[in-house]
Structure 1
Amino acid sequence: MTETQGTGVATKEVVIDVEGVGIEFLRSRKRKMSIRELVFTGRSGAAKDTFWALRDVSFQVLRGQAVGLVGGNGSGKSTLLKMIAGVLLPDEGTISVAHGVAPLIELTGGFLGDLSARENIYLTAGLHGLTSEQVDERFDEIVDFAGPQVRAGLDTPFRHFSSGMQVRLGFAVITTLDEPIVLVDEVLAVGDRAFRDKCYARMEEMLANDKTLFLVSHSEADLMRFCNRGLYLRGGHLVLDGEMEAVMAQYNADLDAQA
């Protein structure tokens, strides 16, 4: 049975409302169709082998909360973030997001590999509602945050950047946007200590300005530092929703029991 955190709902705006959400994926590709099936039916008669990546997940996130999402590999963490970002649609249930979302999901952050870093800055910021003039005003701030290597490669195709440089630029752009909800998926694991310190300072600044943070990380230190609430996914189900310390303790206890 899922434990839920219900305090404060009446005093702060609900910005993310997830109700009974589930999403089903194909486990593997269909077998090749026989010539007879191609000619007479146009499709394979093989049954679909599917699984539910998430099932019956419900929770609300309040404005200004910093929520840490924990769970083992394959538990549905990244899938849930993509659904909140609108990249994936649920097969059952509903997700309502009250405001714009700035997603930094996976290394590329949605950037296009064949475009230059400079072009990606303007494209990504533009898709989130900034005008070219507004991007001009923030351009140096973005590039300074990303670092000298990124500045030197501004007119290089993004796909030629190292993973660390991609994260630097992605984090710099996404966290400069005006969107009140920020989704971050594992990206702080990449980069040197100096860059992580800059990221930490930027995240603390966002939280001080009442932005809502949704953080997926395997770093217990990062989760405990930034998040005041935790969600624990196991096997596609939400098994615990509460204070970050309690959620982390249960997750670690489960890991110890499996060892």
Structure 2
Amino acid sequence: MAYYSLPASSKEEYSIEVEDVSMIFNIASEVLTNLKEYFIKAMKHELFFKEFRALNHVSFKVSRGEVVGLVGTNGSGKSTMLKCIAGVLEPSEGSITVRGNIAPLIELGAGFDPELTARENIYLNGALLGYTKEFIDGHLQDIIDFAELQDFMDMPLKNYSSGMVARIAFAIATVTEPDVLIVDETLSVGDVFFQEKCEARIKSFIDSGHVTVLFVSHSIEQVERICTRAVWIEKGQQRMDGPVEEVCRAYRAQFD
């Protein structure tokens, strides 16, 4: 099992290489009601786990500048795959290589401190993404303007709605053009006008031809609109990889 994050290079054909990746979780075979019961059973070696494969030997490669959607029903492993590629999770088996800097739009707002103001959280989250204070200083107004929350910058984040938090997080993550953009259900948060604004920014990255995009959405129509290729993962198994129209057609057919 291995995860490699390498500098971007114009000589490399692929931005992302997923090689025979499996993600295995151990789940307790019985429900325990409290921590004391857990430790008692653990000390007596009476605690048993069953193996759950969220991903099972998945392999695919994404060329630089390609836009690929991951499709599948709920719980099929799409988000787990994105987290492995983003480096949030390390695969149990196989290897993942990512070339270039990553903007992971996964669980927007993770890493924010609800007690701090939105302005303070911009600097905090920016630092987690690898931005320097000087970079944030120079792009602070761009972030605020895109999020359209000028009047709420000095309000504690705990008073924000989930949609407002998503606005801030998206604005921070996309303030500069990344090499690899990972999007997980981001556009399902917030009002329809802001969703359209986010989609327009993603499309601007796509149109540049330099940004590699991995995209997950419950909306198959959105995947077809944004992506050129799709990978279908179902219950951890890779079912299909090909042109977005063909994969989405096959995916829909299972519900007919």
1:8-23 matched pairs, under 5 angstroms: 13-23=13-23
How big is each residue's C-alpha offset from its partner over 1:21-77, in whole Å with a ceiling of 9 and x where there is no partner? 111123347555999x849x7253232122101110011111101111110001001
1:1-259 matched pairs, under 5 angstroms: 13-28=13-28, 38=40, 42-147=43-148, 150-209=149-208, 210-256=210-256
8 Å CA contact 1:113, 1:159 repeated in 2 = yes
Cα displacement (A) at 1:165: 0.6
Q: d(CA) in 2 for partners of 1:51 and 1:145?
A: 41
Q: TM-score, normalised by structure 2?
A: 0.86
Cα displacement (A) at 1:12: 6.2
Q: d(CA) in 2 for partners of 1:23 and 1:178?
A: 30
Partner of 1:7: none
8 Å CA contact 2:54, 2:80 repeated in 1 = yes
8 Å CA contact 1:53, 1:236 repeated in 2 = yes
Q: d(CA) in 1 for partners of 2:202 and 2:138?
A: 21
Question: Identity over aligned residues, as a percent?
Answer: 42
Deviates more, 1:223-232 or 1:119-128: 119-128
8 Å CA contact 2:22, 2:53 repeated in 1 = yes
Cα displacement (A) at 1:110: 3.9
Q: d(CA) in 2 for partners of 1:232 and 1:163?
A: 29
Q: d(CA) in 2 for partners of 1:145 and 1:245?
A: 32
Deviates more, 1:45-54 or 1:68-77: 45-54
Q: d(CA) in 1 for partners of 2:72 and 2:142?
A: 35
Q: What is the letter of the counterpart of residue 184 of structure 2?
A: D
Q: What is the letter of the counterpart of residue 203 of structure 2?
A: E
Q: What is the letter of the counterpart of residue 159 of structure 2?
A: H
Q: Secondary structure at the match of 1:55?
A: strand
Q: TM-score, normalised by structure 1?
A: 0.85
Cα displacement (A) at 1:134: 1.4
Q: d(CA) in 2 for partners of 1:179 and 1:86?
A: 16
Q: Secondary structure at the match of 1:49?
A: strand
8 Å CA contact 1:229, 1:243 repeated in 2 = yes
Q: d(CA) in 1 for partners of 2:111 and 2:103?
A: 11
Q: d(CA) in 2 for partners of 1:13 and 1:43?
A: 53
Cα displacement (A) at 1:163: 1.2
Q: How many residues align?
A: 242
Instruction: From the superposition, tell whether residues 132 and 77 of structure 1 become closer, same or farther in structure 2 (CA, over 3 Å).
Output: same
Instruction: From the superposition, tell whether residues 174 and 31 of structure 1 become closer, same or farther in structure 2 (CA, over 3 Å).
Output: same
Question: Aligned-residue CA RMSD in angstroms?
Answer: 2.3
8 Å CA contact 2:183, 2:216 repeated in 1 = yes
Report which of the two has the higher share of strand.
Answer: 2
Which segments of 5 or more consecutive residues in structure 1 lack a partner in the other structure? 1-10
Cα displacement (A) at 1:219: 1.2
Q: d(CA) in 2 for partners of 1:34 and 1:200?
A: 48
How big is each residue's C-alpha offset from its partner over 1:84-123, in whole Å with a ceiling of 9 and x where there is no partner? 1111111111111111211111242543333321122112
Q: d(CA) in 1 for partners of 2:69 and 2:219?
A: 10
Cα displacement (A) at 1:205: 0.9
8 Å CA contact 1:103, 1:109 repeated in 2 = no
Q: d(CA) in 2 for partners of 1:30 and 1:110?
A: 32
Q: What is the letter of the counterpart of residue 189 of structure 1?
A: S
Q: Secondary structure at the match of 1:122?
A: helix
Instruction: From the superposition, tell whether residues 28 and 116 of structure 1 become closer, same or farther in structure 2 (CA, over 3 Å).
Output: farther
Instruction: From the superposition, tell whether residues 112 and 80 of structure 1 become closer, same or farther in structure 2 (CA, over 3 Å).
Output: farther
